[in-house]
């Protein structure tokens, strides 16, 4: 004959174990939501400076240079190593990065994981990014000598071009290295850009 006290004890232990497991899961989910919300707030405070990899990309000019009316600035990495050292390749993927919100080390690298990954369809950009924690909306003070060249968009307005040329002349008067000046030109028979010096 089974001991009723022993069965009651087993039932109570199993119940307690189930309750603890449920409570742990509830606590874990709440903790995960709290940490994720904190991460989202931190993400909004983080600044990102992006560099494109190819000045001949028609899409890049369309997206980021006001449909070919803007300029492309070329940097010489060796002239500003302090800033450029922090420019990392963007990883292109079809999947979002996975972050274990409850792992301290992974949480710390999470912002980099998120901000250094883009959808594979953007791969043509060949982008580099400098990610600056707690510096959203702030400027990076690049060394002026790091700017090596300027490329004018093929649709650039004459007034804008004249303004940039005045800035370039002023740089020269200040004793900074001379900038190379180029112009993007539409190819006559193909959907591509040619850069003329």
Question: Quick check: 71 pLDDT over 60?
Answer: yes
Whether 9 is in a domain gets the answer no
Whether 191 is in a domain gets the answer yes
The total number of structural domains that make up the chain: 1
Q: What H or E segment, with its residue span, contains residue 74?
A: strand 71-75
Whether 61 is in a domain gets the answer yes
Whether 156 is in a domain gets the answer yes
Whether 35 is in a domain gets the answer no
Cα 194 to its chain centre, rounded Å, is: 28
DSSP string for 161-187: HHHHHHHHHHHHHTTPPPPEEEEEEE-
Coil, strand or helix at 98: coil
- CA-to-CA distance for 28 and 30, rounded, in angstroms? 6
pTM for the model: 0.76
Beta strands in 90-171 (DSSP E): 91-93, 117-119, 128-132, 147-152
Whether 53 is in a domain gets the answer yes
Whether 128 is in a domain gets the answer yes
Whether 66 is in a domain gets the answer yes
Task: State mean pLDDT over 144-157.
Answer: 96
Task: State mean pLDDT over 187-196.
Answer: 94
Task: State mean pLDDT over 145-154.
Answer: 96
pLDDT digits (tens, 9 = 90+) for 3-62: 544 454 455 667 667 656 655 666 667 777 777 788 888 888 999 999 998 999 999 999
Distances (CA, A) of 131 to 44, 106, 111, 155: 12, 17, 9, 31
- Name the residue range of residue 139's domain: 45-196
């Amino acid at each position: 004959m089974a001991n009723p006290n022993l069965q009651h004890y087993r039932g109570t232990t199993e119940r307690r174990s189930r309750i603890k497991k449920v409570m742990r899961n509830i606590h874990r989910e709440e903790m995960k939501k709290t940490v994720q919300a904190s991460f989202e707030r931190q993400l909004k405070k983080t600044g990102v400076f992006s560099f494109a990899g190819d000045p001949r990309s028609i899409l890049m000019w369309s997206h980021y240079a006001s449909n070919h009316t803007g300029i492309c600035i070329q940097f010489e990495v060796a002239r500003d190593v302090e800033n450029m050292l922090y420019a990392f390749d963007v990883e292109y993927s079809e999947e979002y990065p996975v972050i274990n919100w409850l792992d301290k080390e992974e949480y710390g690298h999470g912002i980099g994981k998120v901000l250094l990954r883009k959808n594979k369809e953007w791969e043509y950009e060949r982008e580099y990014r400098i990610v600056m924690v707690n510096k959203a909306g702030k400027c990076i003070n690049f060394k002026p000598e790091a700017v090596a060249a300027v490329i004018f968009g093929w649709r650039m307005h004459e007034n804008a071009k004249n303004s940039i040329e005045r800035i370039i002349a002023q740089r020269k008067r200040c004793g900074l290295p001379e900038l190379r000046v180029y112009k993007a030109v539409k190819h006559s028979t193909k959907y591509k850009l040619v850069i003329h010096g």
